[in-house]
Amino acid sequence: METNNTDELQPTGDGARLAAKTLLVSRIIKLYGAAALFLVYFQIFYRHWDYLQRWIYNYACILLAPAIILFFAGIDIAYIFHSINKAYRLSRPDLIDFYHDLSKHLLINIIRGKEQTKDEIAAKLPDNAKKNHPFKLLIMFWIFAFSIGFVGAPYDNYYWFGFPKITVGIAALISTVGLTLIIPTIVAMIAYIISLKKTGKAKLSKLQKALLIVITILSFVPNYIWLYDAINFGFGLDTSTDEVIEDTEYIPSYESDYVDDSSQYMIDDSEEYMDDVTIMNHMIILCNYLVQEGVISDFSVELDFNAKGYVKGTVARDDEYVYVLYDNGIKQDDQGNDCLELVLEAEPLDEDGNSLGQTEASLKGFYLVNAETKTVIDEHKTHW
């Protein structure tokens, strides 16, 4: 439990001052973590849930909390261990003061239910302790956080957002390792706490170490099976990767030609039309290209439907225009590959920042998007 006595608020000695600084920074890190947790959930549930639910699983809302907590816990614990390393460069009395002041606030001593005296600390504290590795701890916690966050969305969505396949595969491998080690790490921490309460020393027996190895193996198998498709997608372990791409190819057509305010948008009506998520995937590829080319500064695809029920995507806004993409059906590039043609229009804004609509819009470009190769061809035309 934390105390508020004047001796703690006005520490004397290098050890006491280092402990006070460490506790202050630790509290600041925890506050940042709490603020991040609030802001993330505020953005998800109150601002962008209708958009985000197209891209993440519903259970991702639960996974985000432990992921954020682990991320900031890694920073917190790494900083504490860094301070411990610094404390061992102080004199013996300052080192004892540091441990005494710090230990009053550590979770392990709260669990033990008693505060250690300076004499007890001095009796157990070695003169030259083994050096801690805070950076390794930080990486371990961040891997845990990343692993939990990664499985909150379908793996192929990362690809549609612009990440190369190999990156998705590597991320899936890291996630497999992280998820595999979470349970053994929790079991090891419980074993250390039990050992500390019984013997005063945090030490694992040979049987406990062997049990941890077994738990690690048993944990690896289901996690690898769970994430195998993502690993295969990234590294191309078999031909199923190609099938994933083929499944997302555009198949043309609506029941009739696309006509909004004019007859300019033409879509083949010969076959069943693709779903709106597949349209969005094509739009994301194009939007990444438009950002690189400086046409728009950033994007967020918000699908909507016109009066006839056809999909359009509002993708960006600046001080003068709202940028909207329209599906204009399948076209072939110079090599004969089927591509989805998307038309970019800019709708001007009035004085209040409201769009004047498509009737006042100007054509900004026609683009062929190849979903299989994730390439975009600018047709260099701004008129019909």
Q: What is the pLDDT of residue 214?
A: 92
Confidence of residue 163 (pLDDT cuts 50, 70, 90): confident
Give the lowest-confidence range in 135-139, 197-201, 255-259: 255-259
* 21-37 confidence digits (pLDDT tens): 999 999 999 999 999 99
Summarize the confidence of residues 89-97 as an average pLDDT. Answer: 85
Q: What is the pLDDT of residue 237?
A: 64
- How far apart are alpha carbons 159 and 128 in whole angstroms? 50
Q: What is the pLDDT of residue 68?
A: 94
Of residues 358 and 76, more confidence is placed in 76
Give the lowest-confidence range in 227-236, 304-313, 366-375: 304-313
Of residues 38 and 234, more confidence is placed in 38
Which of 48, 94, 36 shows the shortest CA–CA distance to 300? 48
**Residues 27 and 125: beta-carbon distance below 8 Å:** no
- pLDDT surpassing 80 at residue 128: no
Record the pTM. Answer: 0.62
Q: What is the pLDDT of residue 159?
A: 78
Q: What is the pLDDT of residue 273?
A: 54
Q: What is the pLDDT of residue 2?
A: 44
* 226-281 confidence digits (pLDDT tens): 888 888 888 876 544 344 333 333 333 333 333 344 445 555 544 455 667 777 88
